[in-house]
Each structure stands twice: as C-alpha cells, then as structure tokens.
Amino acid sequence: MSERTSAGRPVALVTGGSRGIGRAVCDALAPTHALLVGGRDEAAVDRVVEELRAKGAQAHPFVVELTDDDSTAAAVEALAPSLEDGLDVLVHSAGVARTGALAELTREDWAHQYDVNVVAVADLTRRLLPALRAAGGTVVAINSGSGHRSGPGGGSYSASKFALRALTDALREEERGRVRVVSIHPGRVDTDMQVELQSAHGRGYVAEDHLSAASVAEAVRYAVLAPAEAMVEELTIRPVRTEVSGERATTKG
C-alpha cells in the first residue's frame, strides 16, 4: 500500500460503485481512503456520494460509460488534476452477466459481455497506469468462480471471466514492482445480478445461500491494505454453503 496520501488519505477509484459489490467496497474503504465512486447512472452515483459524505467519508463522483471510448477518455482527463500525485487503488467492480446456451446467445451478447467485463477493464487500467505507477498503487479486479470453471449456460460469462483472469495475470507480471494486481474470485454473492442469474436458471433464491457483498468487500480491503512488500495475487472467497441445495435449485420462481 502506498504511503502517499491526497488530502490526508490515499485515493481509491471503484467502478460499479453505486450498487452491489462495488458499493460495499466503497463502504469498506471509506474509513481509510478518499473515494471516487464510479458508475454510469449520474443520479445513482450522486446518491452514493451523498450517503458516504453524510458518514464523514471523502467521496466524489466518477460518472462514465466505460464501453464508450470518448466518455472514458473525457472522464479520465477530468480526473487528471486530482491525480497529480497518483492513484493508490483501482477496483474494477462493474460487470455484466449474460447466461444462456451457445445456441441461444447472439454475437451482440458475446460482444457486450466482453466489452464490459474485459475490454473496458483493460482500457481504463491503461489510461490510469501512469497515476497508478506514480503511487505504487493496487489494481483489484472483481472476477468470479466462473473465472476458473464453466458449465452449461455459462460459457459466455465464464469466457469473459477467464479472459479477465488472463488480463490480470499478464498485467501483474508486466507491472511487478511498480503496481500490485489482485484478482478476487467470489462464489455466489447476494446481489441483484445473482437474483437475475438464479432466475434465469429457473431456481428459487435464498439470500442465506450466498455471500454478502460486504464479505467480498472485506476481502478487497484485506488485499488493498496488505503491507507494501506483499501482494495478494489471487483470492477465492466462497459461501459456507458452497452449493445451493437441490430442493432450492429446482424451485421455480
């Protein structure tokens, strides 16, 4: 972790920071970091920023459409004055999940999933690498258990997460000694995305069968706050109930 601080605190940018795991990461880092809350919905981002500030956190909006080159370029350019001393943490939490058999998914389904889950991550990281290097910063990619294994209906999503793991593996070695690169692989997490995924598979949903977003955020915080000579390269975190019970898995709803 870099010792450099901005306004007394290191700076952390969290994409997908207005909901789910990204929002939980913002909460987890708020006591120690100045936050840049990323998202494409300006109203949602502003609401999170206001809530964080009400709790005494240093928080600012980072509104961007990460799949749009011009939007990303403009957003990063606008950040430049506040990152003169560098960026300490970049957490990639924004992502999408489109499931379905190969026979069902279109070219657009595949392209959009790769654009959000892989290309946008690579592009934003590239643009912010000078600031990350200046701070001796840490890049954290929220991957998935699907970044290690796949199954029926999950080929497209898993392929994007396998690709994200390949990206972080390469970046880690390219930047070793300058920027730390962490890959976090949660199991099922209690988020809106997970509700949609289970519904798509015709399964009932029981929150207690899943990790909380806060638990994943604590894993991110652990990696970010590791001593400067240490790097958490890859971390898997799964719910104690590693599989949804057969009865629940077949429940329609």
Report, as residue numbers or ranges, the catalytic residues.
157
Eight-state DSSP code of residue 218: H
| 20 contacts 213 by C-beta, under 8 angstroms | yes
Measure Cα distances from 101 to 16, 98, 106, 110 in Å.
27, 10, 10, 12
Alpha carbon distance 194, 186 (integer Å):
12
Nearest partner of 12 among 91, 79, 75, 77, judged by Cα:
91
- The one-letter amino acid code at 54 reads A
Residue 36's Cβ-count burial label (10 Å; 0-12, 13-18, 19+) is buried
